[in-house]
Amino acid sequence: MSKEYKIAVIGQGYVGLPLALAFAKHYSVVGYDIKKERVEQLKQGVDLTKEVEIDQLKVSLLEYQTSGGIRGYLPSYTLEDLAQANVFIITVPTPINQFNAPDLSPLKGASKLIASVIKKGDIVIYESTVYPGCTEEECIPVIEQFSTLKFNQDFYVGYSPERINPGDKVNTLETIVKVTSGSTPIVAEEIDLLYRMIIKAGTHKAPSLKVAEAAKVIENAQRDVNISFVNELALIFDRIGIDTQDVLEAAGTKFNFLKYKPGLVGGHCISVDPYYLAHKAIQVGYYPDVILSGRRVNDEIPVFIASKVVKLMIQKGIDVSRSRVLLLGFAFKENCPDTRNTKVAKIYEELVSYGIEVDVYDPWVNPEEVREEYGIEVITTIDEVEKRVYQTSDHRLPSTNKHYEGVVLTTAHTDFRALDIENMISSPAVIYDAKAALDREIIDSRL
C-alpha cells in the first residue's frame, strides 16, 4: 500500500471539515460534499459551522494551490477530484428515522460513491457512529458489490470513531485521544500511524472494527443514561417542591458523586447513538431496558418544560391562549450554530399547541436552515427582539405593557448573559431557566 497518501474526506460538516484541515497540513486532501452550496462557501473561505478558524481554512486552500496539490485542502463535489485519493474517510451523518431505528442511507450512499472510484490497495476509514458490526455487515458489502473489488484482498477498511464536540474550542480534534482500528493487523497499524500525524493527544488502537464501533456508541449511551437519571430527579423534585440544582450541589460535596446536570438532550450523538446500540442489542436477542428507559425520560423533558411554563403562567393569572413567549436559543448546545435534533423545537411545538404566540431568538443559528428543517422562523438580531418587546396588538391594552408574558432560556449562549430579560416582559410574566444559567433572583423556576 502506498505511503504517498492522498486523502479524501467525505462529508464536510462539523466532523469532516476539521479532520480534512488537520490532514491538509501534511497531505493532499479533498474535502468532498454533495452539497454544492457548502463546497462553494468553503472555496471562498467561509465556514457556517464555525468549527474551524477562518485563517486556517484560507491557508489550507492557498497551500493546495501553491504546492500544486501536494499538500493542502481542496473542497469539491466532483468524482474526478475524489478519484485522486487512495485513502477515503467517511464522516457522513448516521441519523435515526421516525421509528427511532438507524437510518443507514447516508452511510450506504457514501460507500456506493466510494465504490465508483476505489482502486486496488486503497483504504476506506469510517468515522460515522454506528452499532458494533455495522461496517462489516452493511458498508463493506456495498463497496464490494459496486466496485467488484474484494475486501482485504483489493481494498482495506478501518474504523476510527469521531469525537468532535461542536462548539468546544478547548477539547478539539487534536487534543482528544483517537480510537483506531483496521481490518488486518498491518492495516490497523498503518491507520494508527496515519492518525498519529494529526492527533497530539495520541491514539488507542482497538483490536477490531467491532470493538472500536462499540467504544464509540457506548460513550454517548453512558452520558445519555446518566443525564436521564438527573432528569428523572428533576421531575421528582419538581413535584416535591425543591430545587434540583440545590440538591445536586449538596450531593456533589461527596468525593465520588458524579456531577451531571439535568437538561435537554439533543444533537447528533447523545440523543441518537443509544438507539443504534439498542438496535443491535435487540438483533442479538437482548432488550436493553436501562438504555431505552433513559431515552424515554430524556425525551419527556421538552414537554415537561413547556407544561411547567404554562402552569406557572396560569398560577399568575395570565391568559395563556392570548400570551406571547420568547425562547432564548434554538441550537442544541451553547455557543454553537448546530441545530441537529434540537429539543427546543419540541418546546416550541408544545407551547404553540396551547395557543401561545412563540418567538425564538438565537444569534448563532442559520435561520434558513432552521426554516427548511423545522418550519420555524428564528430571530437572529437583538434589534428585532427589542422591536417586538414594545409591539402591541388589537387584543391587548397598548399602554406600557410589554410584549412577552414568558421568557424561557433554552440554550445558554454567552450572548444571553448580557440581556436585560426583566425589561422584555410584561407584568405579570414568567421567566423559566432550562439551563440553570440565569440569576436566581429574576427567575420563577428552573430545571
Catalytically active residues are 269
> What are the cell numbers at 69?
496539490
Q: Which residues are CB-neighbours of 274 under 8 A, at least 6 positions away?
A: 217, 220, 221, 224, 225, 291, 292, 294, 295
Please give the Cα distance from 144 to 208 (Å, whole number). Answer: 20
Could you tell me if residue 197 is left (phi over 0), alpha (psi between -120 and 50 degrees) or otherwise beta?
A: alpha
> Count of CB atoms within 10 A of residue 71's CB?
17
Helix axes 273-283, 289-315, angle to 10 degrees: 140
The answer to whether residues 194 and 207 touch, using CB atoms and an 8 Å cutoff, is no
Please give the Cα distance from 384 to 328 (Å, whole number). Answer: 13
- Residue type at 213 in one-letter notation: E
Please give the Cα distance from 237 to 297 (Å, whole number). Answer: 14
For residue 219, give the nearest of 257, 263, 256, 176 by alpha carbon.
176
C-alpha dist (Å) from residue 416 to 113, 137, 214, 327, 328: 43, 46, 38, 11, 7
Q: Where are the alpha helices (DSSP H) in 12-148?
A: 16-24, 36-43, 54-66, 79-82, 105-115, 134, 140-147
**Spatial strand order in the sheet of 445-446:** 357-361, 324-328, 404-409, 425-433, 445-446
> What are the cell numbers at 156?
482495506
